[in-house]
Amino acid sequence: MSKLLKPIEYATSQGISRQAVYAKIKKGTLESKTVDGKMYIVVDEIDNKNDKNIEEEEIAPHLVDVKELLNSKEQTISILKESISDLKHTNTEINTTLRGEIELLKQVFTEMRNLYVKQVDYMVIDKKKELENQSAPIEAISVKDSESEEDCWITLDEFFIRCEITKEKHKRKVIKRLRKAFMKNDKRIKMENDEIYLSCYHFYEDILKKKQSY
């Protein structure tokens, strides 16, 4: 025995969309009938039950696949949780190791800095001693011998060599001071033909040690 159903009713009974019903009609897999200008689906009640059974049989494997997929998903989530836990533990160990390495590097750096500071202190002390030795009272350029003082004079170039004055700017400042001293009748200095001569028997630290900006 068959009956007529509207497409929407057939779609609802089969659990499919109305578009799917029209698609089946178009393919010829679903029998339809037009009554008073309206389309109906011809449904055989026995066939309908068979169709449902067939569809359920077709759907059943898919349901199994979905269950397996869900089970696989749960397993994957469980594995991921374990992996995250392991990663957290590993990360904690790495952080602990890194902190230990950092502390060790700090200790090494502190020791190296202390050694460097001590070395610098020793260098400063040595430099101070060297400067103290250099700044000791300048001895007379020459030892007085049996000749008269007037006969022992050296040129300005010889004076610079003996006093280790090499910079031109320094030389100009010293010459300027020597000329001023000569103008004040300093007996250690004499000039001949505009050339400066210095006595071998005197000290000149008062001239050389004046504040210099060279």
Query: Which pLDDT belongs to residue 139?
Result: 47
Query: Which pLDDT belongs to residue 57?
Result: 59
- For residues 27-37, average pLDDT: 88
Highest-confidence segment of 3-7, 45-49, 143-147? 3-7
Distances (CA, A) of 80 to 90, 94, 123, 192: 15, 20, 62, 102
Query: Which pLDDT belongs to residue 196?
Result: 92
Whole-number percent of the chain with pLDDT over 70: 76
Residue spans of the domains in the chain: they are 2-58, 149-208
Count of CB atoms situated within 10 Å of the CB of 130:
10
CATH number of the structural domain 2-58: 1.10.1660
Query: Which pLDDT belongs to residue 96?
Result: 85
- For residues 10-36, average pLDDT: 90
Helices H, strands E: what count in the chain? 6, 6
Would you say the pTM of this structure is higher than 0.85? no
pLDDT in tens, 188-202: 999 998 899 999 888
pLDDT in tens, 89-110: 788 888 888 888 888 888 887 8
Average pLDDT, the chain: 78
Sheet holding 32-35, edge to edge: 2-5, 38-44, 32-35
